[in-house]
Amino acid sequence: MSILIDSSTRVLVQGLTGKEGRFHAQQMIESGIRVVAGVTPGRGGQQVLGLPVFDSVPEAVQATGANASLLFVPPAAAADACLEALEAGLPLVVCITEGVPVHDMVKVRAESLRRGARLLGPNCPGLISPGKCKLGIMPAGIFSSGPVGVVSRSGTLTYQVVDELTRAGLGQTTCVGIGGDPVLGTGFLEILQLFEQDQETRAVALIGEIGGTAEEDAARWLQQSGLPVVAFIAGQTAPPGKRMGHAGAIVSGSGGTARAKVEAFREAGVHVAETTTEMVQELKALLDRAP
């Protein structure tokens, strides 16, 4: 199985006519993903990569039966594009865009929760279930099918860990990049809960980083869960008050420190790896010990 997406997912690309949208849609199509249409206001009636382009999301959904949207929309328009997709009734919206204003995402997140939809991002690489579906920019060639779920705030570290997992013979059920901004549509906790319900996910790699309390929230939940998890926390040498790459990766006062996150996971009985290689080794050991 997989979470959030599968081989029946029908993908709509908002911003298909732009350079990034076209490039990544091409990669998805070549991977066998069911990309069914694009949306760019004012470009309705055109075709890109052999796909119809519509002026609005409701038009595209009605014509194609799309059930997920992937956004490559400039920051100033990204929130409105997310809201349009949510209002059209799409159950899954993935926002790749970086630099979306925080106050815009507060409104979008609230709307996604009100509608019971799943919003992923912004500033995220998307998600992939190897051999089934991909929504986003993850390089499909390094992934393989198997029993390990992956959830991460860092795209680059996701690729590093997945490459090592695949080389070690440990395939993945679904890999989810939740994004690195202060306000996200979906956090660690929600993804872990989905993995717990997935019978094929036997262990999870959680890649966190400094800033915010999402990792601590996940650790508190894991104290009551039997889900096997190995964690890795990036940014342990970052100086307080300095942003490290992601808008959400900033430590203020005593909150969001690497130490606090590591301690929270250890209190929950979760192994915290010092390196990505150690993370893969521990995941293999967990799977070997499992009945």
Catalytic positions, written as ranges: 246
Distance, in Å, from the CA atom of 70 to the CA atom of 85, rounded to the nearest integer, reads 9
Burial class of residue 110, CB neighbours in 10 A (0-12, 13-18, 19+): exposed
Contact indicator for 265, 216 with CB cutoff of 8 Å: no
Contact indicator for 107, 98 with CB cutoff of 8 Å: no
